[in-house]
Amino acid sequence: MELLKVSSRTDTRRLGKALYQVLKKNGGEAVLQAVGAGAVNQAVKGVAVARGLAAPEGADLKAVPGLTRIEMDGIEKTAVQLHVFWR
């Protein structure tokens, strides 16, 4: 399962295309990781873009949110993870 890190400056179209490619290549599972409200917003928009790309193939995406603790610059933070599945 591949981890894609998302920031508040991430381009949602590029993220959606990358997520779509990862899902097709890796058996239909990927994880988006975001820290902060802006990054979570971009991650959700990226899932929406990927879902639009998958729709013509008759596929749908399922996103399951979760929380994890990560270390950034020596500081422990909480990150939102979206586990995305191809169905």
Tokens of 57: 């193939």
Distance CA 31, CA 4 (A): 6
Q: What is the pLDDT of residues 18-37, one digit of tens each?
A: 999 999 998 889 999 999 99
Q: What is the pLDDT of residues 42-70, one digit of tens each?
A: 999 999 999 999 999 999 999 999 999 99
Using CA of residue 19, residue 54, residue 23, residue 45, what is the dihedral sign? Answer: positive
Q: What's residue 42's pLDDT?
A: 98
Q: What's residue 87's pLDDT?
A: 84
Distances, alpha carbon 21 to alpha carbons 18, 25, 77, in Å: 5, 6, 29
Q: What is the pLDDT of residues 1-16, one digit of tens each?
A: 789 999 999 999 999 9
Q: What's residue 41's pLDDT?
A: 97
As assigned by CATH, the class of the 2-86 domain is: alpha beta
